[in-house]
Structure 1
């Protein structure tokens, strides 16, 4: 299938989706990094929904000191860097992949499916899937410039991280 999504309204909608998703994560990470109180993931890890398919893993992680410290650093820093990558359109697929990984953990960990399986966490996962699969960084993003660099042209596998 050949589809030039960078032309017309589709490209603008894709850029808007990338920017909104990026701002969402950049803001979430920034407020955790500079908030008045230090971010602490242990409460969420230990109190994750009992009906969650990954409840046992989250409970173990919340009771393991090094995992709590890892989560306390990686969640805010990861959210901030993922958001920054999406906003500037650099390493967009890599950022979308890791954003999707975080959203899977949030979706399964929260497991608030009392009103059905469709919720905000699933919607966030869908946004990262759209941005990553459609290579949204190639439209008004730094990935369009980075992909033209000699270093990347000599290493075509790097294009899987860009876009």
Structure 2
């Protein structure tokens, strides 16, 4: 009986896909996650402006978690910055994802937010696998799949002369 002895790992492996349904799904996922964060940010901006006081309060309550020292420092040393940056960053991350601009950079920012949310809810009343972890995984998925290249502006930006001259910019795009 003959069998294939070739190494399957020797072939080029890429995440994502080229089928129309796969590219549509990746773009749809990016837009939905973008709407999620845009809505969260805009709601905070409408209600509190750039003075979202729950942000610093949330961080100072994270003392008993893995990120506790950093979170407590952020909540006490730079509370005005945190109060302003939370709604602004959520809004900008959402807009970037929805438009497909600098998707990897925006997704990295979203992953940081979700890591703080996940660790901040360290009692894990809904288990370790909860909505915050799912959000974190969504952002990591968008990074790995270079989701901005699918019906997003990153696909256009990556063809510009600037990106061609500085190809490392693609690490922020896509």
Q: Do these two structures clear the TM 0.5 threshold for a shared fold by scoring above it?
A: yes
Deviation at 1:20, TM superposition (A): 0.7
Q: Is the 8 A contact 1:6 1:139 kept in 2?
A: no
**Could you say which residue in structure 2 is the equivalent of 1:47?**
61
Q: Do residues 94 (structure 1) and 95 (structure 2) align?
A: no
In the other structure, the counterpart of 1:146 is: 157
- 5+ long unaligned stretches in structure 2: 1-12
SS of equivalent to 2:116:
helix
Give me the CA root mean square deviation: 1.7
Is residue 97–residue 128 contact of structure 1 (8 Å, CA) maintained in 2?
Answer: yes
5+ residue gaps, structure 1 = none
State the shift of 1:112 in Å: 3.5
Name the counterpart of 1:29.
41
**Match runs of 1:1-163 below 5 Å:** 1-2=13-14, 5-35=17-47, 38-40=51-53, 41-48=55-62, 51-64=64-77, 67-163=78-174
Give every structure 1 segment of 4 or more consecutive aligned residues whose post-TM-superposition deviation is greater than 4 Å.
none
Tell me how many residue pairs correspond in the alignment.
160
Q: TM-score, normalised by structure 2?
A: 0.84
TM-score norm. by structure 1 comes to 0.90
Residue 4 of structure 1: how far off its partner (Å): 5.8
Pair 4,21 (structure 1): closer, same or farther in 2 beyond 3 Å: closer
- Bigger-Rg structure (1/2): 2
